[in-house]
Amino acid sequence: MNRKNKIIVLCSSLALIGIFAITYNVVSNKINNRNKSEETAVYNNGQKALKESLVIALYSNNKNEKTLTLEDFKKEYGIDKTLTEENVKEILGKEGYEIDKKTDEVFTFKRTVEKKKEANKYFIGEHNGYLAIYKSDENGKLDLIREYETSLDLIRLSDAEMQQLKDKTYFSSESLEEVEEEMTELNS
């Protein structure tokens, strides 16, 4: 082989090695960027992965129980995977929490812990915006007995009394007749 052919083969080899190196770097960078975006992007259900710095505030009966970052939340619940909003809602939903406010930095969850009512009593309360009578079972759990067609908007009561209706603490008795009499007075 003459000298000219050797130079051509050498230049071609160097060109191929250079092309391979450039292609390798470009493809490697694209794969790394794709992996990073998949970590924070979208799962198959369309939910975005949450940032570890997200703050989760938990309230019970309007009192702050706990405030923690998503990272601390995952440690407390023994989770090592990336979480979405739906995952957090599901986990806290099992404990009776519902999402109250949501921003990019903070999720606020609230739950209402009902105090048990006295057993085997009748209560006047509210159901779907209307007056209703409830009866407590032996465990203090309330069951709806009757819903009236009287909207709470039509009743003239103070704000405190309205709150008592909503809390089902406005009036109670062991006698259904007494509760119905009080209901008649409210309706008039």
Distance CA 71, CA 68 (A): 8
pTM: 0.42
Lookup result for tokens 């007056």:
131
pLDDT at res. 32: 76
pLDDT at res. 55: 92
CB atoms within 10 A of CB 186: 20
pLDDT at res. 46: 60
- Dihedral pair phi/psi, residue 48, rounded to 5°: -80, 145
Look up residue 182 and give its two tokens: 């009080």
The pLDDT tens digits along the chain (188 residues) read 688 888 888 888 888 898 998 999 888 888 777 666 555 544 445 667 888 889 999 888 778 888 999 889 888 888 888 888 888 888 888 777 888 888 888 999 988 766 667 888 898 888 888 888 988 888 778 888 888 887 877 777 777 788 787 778 788 888 889 988 888 887 76
pLDDT at res. 22: 92
Lookup result for tokens 């209402």:
112
Q: Render pLDDT for 106-124 as a digit per residue (tens, 0 to 9).
A: 999 988 766 667 888 898 8
pLDDT at res. 42: 46
Domain ranges of the chain: 55-111, 122-187
CB atoms within 10 A of CB 136: 19
Contact 165, 154 (CB under 8 A): no
